[in-house]
Structure 1
Amino acid sequence: MYMASSYWLFKQEPSTYNYSQLEKDGKTVWDGVANNLALKHLRSVKKGDKAIFYHTGDERQAVGIMEVISDPYPDPKEKDESLVVVDVRPAGRLKKPVTLDQIKADSAFAQWELVRISRLSVMPVPEKLWERIMKMSG
């Protein structure tokens, strides 16, 4: 049975790793997720899902789309098996970034984790909100 793709938002500090670097690398291991709720979300990610690459820090904006190219697996750099990673590759830069301020200004996003739980590094994106962000990005 074919399962529809799910949509996610993955956050990263651009000075640590940014979308341009992902484009240059061609793919990367998305690691470093330690928050329990973020890890719970990351364990639900599936190969074939799409994720928004969101720059945190001073930028606070969605900048690109990634395709998840592996199911979650234990982080090979960690001894703790509860820490999981996924492999991702770039799937396209947004025509124009969508800022957190733009998202907060739109009441459709009021209940979304990005607005409510700002520290969360991995979160689901409901399809309606995904489509809205794509529209906002031009």
Structure 2
Amino acid sequence: MQNYWLMKSEPDAFSINDLKRLKRSPWDGVRNYQARNFMKEMNEGDLIFFYHSSCNPAGIVGTAKVCKNAYPDHTSWDKNSAYYDVKSTPEKPRWFMVDVEFVEHWSSIVTLAELKQHPELADMRLTQKGSRLSVMPITKSEWEYIVTLLKK
């Protein structure tokens, strides 16, 4: 069964254009346990909304898909990495990542403010007050509704 996700990235760190240029990339550096656990649930072929965060305006800018299931995030073992974690080792990895593949860069953005205006998305994790996870599941109906917003 295909699942649907939303993954956030700051565009000055890694943007949809970066993914488009690379075609495929590891999604490393996630250091939140709940977000990590969501990535461990991802399966090859799952669809992803790519969300630009910490920018103005923040919002969904395109789509990607999971092209490799979760595996240990080696950046947590690299002492020179910003994502180094002394408690994570190759023998007992603490953090995981998936590989994602570019699908589409939209010509327009679906902003967080716009998403919050639709009662159909009131239960979406992203629109909830205090939602700060960088990786989160979304339902098939949320996915389909957001795609219809884009087409309007």
Report the TM-score when normalising by structure 1.
0.93
Distance 1:36 1:60 in 2: 23
1:101 is paired with a residue of what secondary structure? helix
Q: Which of 38, 44, 53 is equivalent to 1:47?
A: 44
Partner of 2:15: 18
Question: Higher Cα Rg: structure 1 or 2?
Answer: 2
Gapped runs of 5+ residues in structure 1?
A: none
Matched, 1:107 2:104: no
Partner of 1:73: 71
1:119 is paired with a residue of what secondary structure? coil
Q: Structure 1 vs Structure 2: percent identity of aligned residues?
A: 32
- Give yes or no for contact 1:95–1:137 (8 Å, CA) kept in 2: no
Distance 2:106 2:140 in 1: 17
Q: How does 1:56-67 map to 2 (within 5 A)?
A: 56-58=53-55, 59-67=57-65
Distance 1:48 1:119 in 2: 25
- Give yes or no for contact 2:28–2:75 (8 Å, CA) kept in 1: no
How far off is 1:26 after superposition?
1.2
**What is the aligned length?**
135
Distance 2:38 2:68 in 1: 15
How far off is 1:70 after superposition?
0.4
Q: Which of 2, 5, 13 is equivalent to 2:2?
A: 5
Gapped runs of 5+ residues in structure 2?
A: 78-87
User: Which amino acid in structure 1 is aligned with residue 25 of structure 2?
Assistant: T
User: Which amino acid in structure 2 is aligned with residue 90 of structure 1?
Assistant: F
1:123 is paired with a residue of what secondary structure? strand
